[in-house]
């Protein structure tokens, strides 16, 4: 599954209309950079940003980098969606970030357009999708969206779009936790990853870390960063510790021995270990071993 091969503790957001920031983002410690064609780009500059991002994707600088590259396109149904996909569905693209997802049918229709763009651009490895949950309907149908197509690698929360129009307090931890939990369960139902959204107050470093820690406790794999100063905290919070990795290794090794002895449940260091604990241990090991920036 895509979610088993994605290591993305941090994803640094870069407006597609700001080419002076591309190289800086590429040189950052973020596991991925997310080039944006949507909300950060004014309507008058959409075509320009699309061309800038597509050119950057073909650059020797980017092709020589191990950085995971993501592009957030404009939403399905907008005048820019198909043009965006045709421009940026290029070899080497790690993920397409699909905003304003509200139904499984919408995702499947987007995949159809994406397949045409890939064929036109000679892309032979299907590009997976990170689907944004940022509307009430999208939140209600999140599990259907997550399971809409095999290309959906995960769900990502869009807090401001979801909460601000409704007058829901974005700074209330209870509100944030409720959304996190709902999205995490929807992602789990489909067997895809859950990714945390952005924290807008760049100066509130403790607030960012606290929210990231809550997301990690709920099983999210990483958090969006809107400024390079947030990257280090995201990397630290979402990186399994040596102790966690060692414990996971012991669980997996013990499970092999138990399985060979015909047992599905066993005791390890005073704890009962069963299938959910084994799956979690395997996931920790998989993420820890996937190559990526330090």
pLDDT tens-digit readout, 173-184? 999 999 999 999
Write out the CATH class of domain 2-238. alpha beta
Quick one: pLDDT at residue 152? 98
Mean pLDDT of the chain: 92
Least confident of 56-60, 175-179, 208-212, 267-271: 267-271
Q: State how far the Cα of 26 lies from the Cα of 288, in Å rounded to an integer.
A: 22
Tell me the percentage of the chain whose pLDDT exceeds 70.
Answer: 95
Q: What token pair was written down for 234?
A: 């995201």
User: Is residue 1 predicted with pLDDT exceeding 90?
Assistant: no
Q: How confident is the model at residue 2 (pLDDT cuts 50, 70, 90)?
A: low
Quick one: pLDDT at residue 276? 74
pLDDT tens-digit readout, 7-36? 899 999 999 999 999 999 999 999 999 999
Nearest to 156 by CA among 138, 137, 173, 144: 138
Q: How confident is the model at residue 246 (pLDDT cuts 50, 70, 90)?
A: confident
Q: Could you tell me the residue ranges of all domains in the chain?
A: 2-238, 242-289
Q: What token pair was written down for 229?
A: 């100063």
CB proximity list for 97: less than 8 A, separation 6 or greater: 34, 70, 71, 72, 73, 129, 130, 132, 156
């Amino acid at each position: 599954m895509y979610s088993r091969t994605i290591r993305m503790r941090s994803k640094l957001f870069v407006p597609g209309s700001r080419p002076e920031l591309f190289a800086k983002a590429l040189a950052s410690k973020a596991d991925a950079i997310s080039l944006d064609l949507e909300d950060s780009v004014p309507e008058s500059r959409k075509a320009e940003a699309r061309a800038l991002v597509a050119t950057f994707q073909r650059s020797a600088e980017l092709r020589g980098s191990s950085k995971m590259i993501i592009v957030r396109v404009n939403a399905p149904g907008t005048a820019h969606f198909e043009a965006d996909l045709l421009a940026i569905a290029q070899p080497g693209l790690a993920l397409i970030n699909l905003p304003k997802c509200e139904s499984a049918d919408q995702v499947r229709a987007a995949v159809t357009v994406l397949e045409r763009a890939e064929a036109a651009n000679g892309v032979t490895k299907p590009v997976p999708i990170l689907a944004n949950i940022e509307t009430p309907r999208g939140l209600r149908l999140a599990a259907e969206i997550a399971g809409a197509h095999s290309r959906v690698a995960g769900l990502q929360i869009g807090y401001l779009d979801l909460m601000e129009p409704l007058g829901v307090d974005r700074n209330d931890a209870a509100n944030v936790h409720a959304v996190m939990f709902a999205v995490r369960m929807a992602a789990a139902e489909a067997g895809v990853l859950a990714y945390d959204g952005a924290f807008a107050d760049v100066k509130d470093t403790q607030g960012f870390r606290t929210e990231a820690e809550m997301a990690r406790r709920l099983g999210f794999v990483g958090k969006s960063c809107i400024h390079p100063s947030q990257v280090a905290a995201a990397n630290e919070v979402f990186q399994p510790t040596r102790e966690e990795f060692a414990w996971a290794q012991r669980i997996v090794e013990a499970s092999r021995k138990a399985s060979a002895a015909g047992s599905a449940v066993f005791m390890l260091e005073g704890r009962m270990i069963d299938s959910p604990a084994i799956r979690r241990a395997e996931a920790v090991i998989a993420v820890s071993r996937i190559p990526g920036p330090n």
